[in-house]
Structure 1
Amino acid sequence: MEGAIPSPPNTRIAVVTGGNKGIGLEVCRLLASGGVTVVLTARDETRGLAAVEKLRGQGISGVVFHQLEITDASSIAGLADFLKTRFGKLDILVNNAAIGGVEYVQELDTNEEKFSGLDVYQRLEWMVKSVNETFDSAKEGVQTNYYGTKHVIEALLPLLQSSSEGKIVNVSSDYGLLTFIKNEGVRQELNDIEKLTEQRLDELLDKFLTDFEAGALEAHGWPNGFAAYKMAKATMNAYSRILARRHPELRVNCAHPGYVKTDMTMSSGVLTPEEGARNIVKVALLPDGGPTGVYFAKGKEASFM
């Protein structure tokens, strides 16, 4: 369901995936507060519309909802058609929608007192111990976090190219750093952007899932502890760099918001959703002609390694 909001010809248009809660909702709020017309997307129409109403209640106008399931080709096509008809272009795409790629073994508890006195590493250790990693959850994580995001980018690319300078921000994570991949050959391949291809990324993900199902992650040097999430983010980082080289007219960057208190982290993070969102929006609003093919950690350029 779409809303009706005025959009002058020179208004920047942004799409935020997974925009109904957490970091995504705050990204929508911050962009709209800066005069950007925002298309807030979410899988669930009821939750998406409620998020738009919540923002309006805070005095934030210029936000419209459109349903999007990033693993559904028809849903992606519907969003692309809406954007083409309504705006004829897209200036900013923030790919925030993601899942943990794990099974959570306990109900979400927003009481943060249990993390009092724990440092970041202890919180991360608690989070890893609070989930089960099954093959089905890993496969779903790869399909959503890598292929879902990739298919959204592919569908919206013509609209981004219709902008004077389109920007893609792929919300990443320090879990996507190449250091978590112990297989040196794979690590080097993912960092060799001049030679790396999308086909090779597919092959590496297929091999990862095959080894996951066989219980051979450690033997072949793949990540462990949120393994599928780490691999999907690492390959999306690599794909972002491929895309940046292929489309120099665009700005394509990866942005790690920090360790944020969200449902995905079971509120174990150290930053608020707004603080994390500010690190994303900073990259989304970089000046025209700014860096591309870069990884930003909490708003600052950093290494993919």
Structure 2
Amino acid sequence: MYHHLLQGCRLQSSHSAGRAATSRREKIKMEAAASNPSSKRIALVTGGNKGVGLETCRQLASKGLEVVLTARNAARGLEAVEDVRRSGADAVFHQLDVTDPNSVARLADFVRDQFGKLDILINNAGISGVDRDPVLVAEVKEQVESMDVDQRVQWMKENSKETYEEAKECMRTNYYGAKLVTEALLPLLQLSSSGRIVNVSSGFSLLRNFNSEELKNEFNDVDNLTEKRLEELLDSFLEDFKANLIEAHGWPTGGSSAYKVAKAALNAYTRILAKKYPRMRINCLTPGYVKSDMSMHMGVLTPEEGASNPVKVALLPDDGPTGAYFDTDGVASFV
């Protein structure tokens, strides 16, 4: 069912499109290999115009990396690049809608033509998957400092409405968007001597949020889980969401259900990729509970503090972990 709704993002799953995508990836790889790769390490960050994404760009640039800052909105992306430059670092901008295959293809062509390779991909772009009243969000900002963490989370849960349309868009952006970008840039990452993929996940991704042991086991069974099966599970979730069967079938409840499932799927995809490309370091992480638009600015960490984890994971040594999940203290359990 869901593949009809996401045909833009899942078009490449069909046999004919798959052959075309493979051919395109090989072409990118060959053309990039023929060019002169940049001597600097190249990092690309999706959703880089604000919050953790912007601070990740700033911190990587300040460490001497060549940073490609991407954002869906070109005006905001260009403003973000100027923000980075005002801080004494530098970045270049390229427009990117992670849900649009044509936009993703243009980005891959740009990176190939401009740099000839890619060393680090940070999939940071994401949405909350819930509908929130902007008036309430504006009003609560004045009360936030007097709330403890539990009160903040509870307020968000009570004032966030989940709809089927929001759930679909959450999957489309947080899982399929990251996958689309990753697949397009993999040929360039493979040209790096130290390729890194960093998927920005969440503490909500942990499998303890699932109420079905069977579902927990499926998402955690990295030895047998495939991308095809993972997407079948996401289709099942959306069917259950539409039929109001989330609780009955053991999916995460208590708010942000789609977000929890999408991020759990992103974690599983991270582990599948790490097995498939053992020479690279491919990991996922939570930046922590950050004050950002995603958290309605009710978090406890600043964006600068939140960005430290993606930066740390992006710069892991060549013998560092792969296929791992990092919280703010280091490698942690997926469960």
TM superposition score normalised by structure 1: 0.95
The runs of 5 or more residues in structure 1 that have no matched partner are: 1-6
Aligned to 1:169: 198
CA shift, 1:129, in A, is: 1.1
Q: How does 1:142-181 map to 2 (within 5 A)?
A: 142-181=171-210
Q: Secondary structure at the match of 2:331?
A: strand
Q: Secondary structure at the match of 2:278?
A: coil
**d(CA) in 2 for partners of 1:9 and 1:167?**
16
Q: How does 1:72-91 map to 2 (within 5 A)?
A: 72-91=100-119
Match of 1:47 among 53, 72, 76: 76
**Cα gap change, 1:110 to 1:263, in 2 (>3 Å):** farther
Displaced runs of 4+ in structure 1, greater than 4 A? none
Aligned to 2:151: 122
**Cα gap change, 1:111 to 1:30, in 2 (>3 Å):** farther
Greater helix fraction, Structure 1 or Structure 2 = 2
**d(CA) in 1 for partners of 2:279 and 2:49?**
30
Q: Is the 8 A contact 1:24 1:96 kept in 2?
A: yes
**d(CA) in 2 for partners of 1:208 and 1:170?**
22
Aligned to 2:54: 25
**d(CA) in 2 for partners of 1:106 and 1:69?**
23
Q: Secondary structure at the match of 1:219?
A: coil
Q: Is the 8 A contact 1:13 1:91 kept in 2?
A: yes
Partner deviation per Cα, 1:52-94 (whole Å, 9 max, x = no partner): 1111122222x00000000000000000000011111100001
The code of the aligned residue for 2:222 comes to I
Which is worse superposed, 108-117 or 91-100? 108-117
Match of 1:257 among 287, 292, 298: 287
Aligned to 1:293: 323
CA shift, 1:10, in A, is: 2.2
**d(CA) in 1 for partners of 2:127 and 2:239?**
20
Q: Secondary structure at the match of 1:168?
A: strand
Match of 2:97 among 54, 64, 69: 69
Answer yes or no: is 1:221 the counterpart of 2:224.
Answer: no
Q: Is the 8 A contact 1:173 1:256 kept in 2?
A: yes
**Cα gap change, 1:182 to 1:31, in 2 (>3 Å):** same
Q: Is the 8 A contact 2:38 2:116 kept in 1?
A: no
Partner deviation per Cα, 1:107-152 (whole Å, 9 max, x = no partner): 3428744123422222111111111100000000001100010110
Aligned to 1:303: 333
**d(CA) in 1 for partners of 2:140 and 2:209?**
30
Aligned length: 298
TM superposition score normalised by structure 2: 0.87
**d(CA) in 1 for partners of 2:97 and 2:121?**
15
CA shift, 1:159, in A, is: 0.5
Q: Secondary structure at the match of 2:271?
A: helix
CA shift, 1:288, in A, is: 1.5
**d(CA) in 2 for partners of 1:86 and 1:115?**
44
Q: How does 1:185-196 map to 2 (within 5 A)?
A: 185-196=214-225
**Cα gap change, 1:257 to 1:52, in 2 (>3 Å):** same
Q: Is the 8 A contact 1:106 1:130 kept in 2?
A: no
Aligned to 1:284: 314
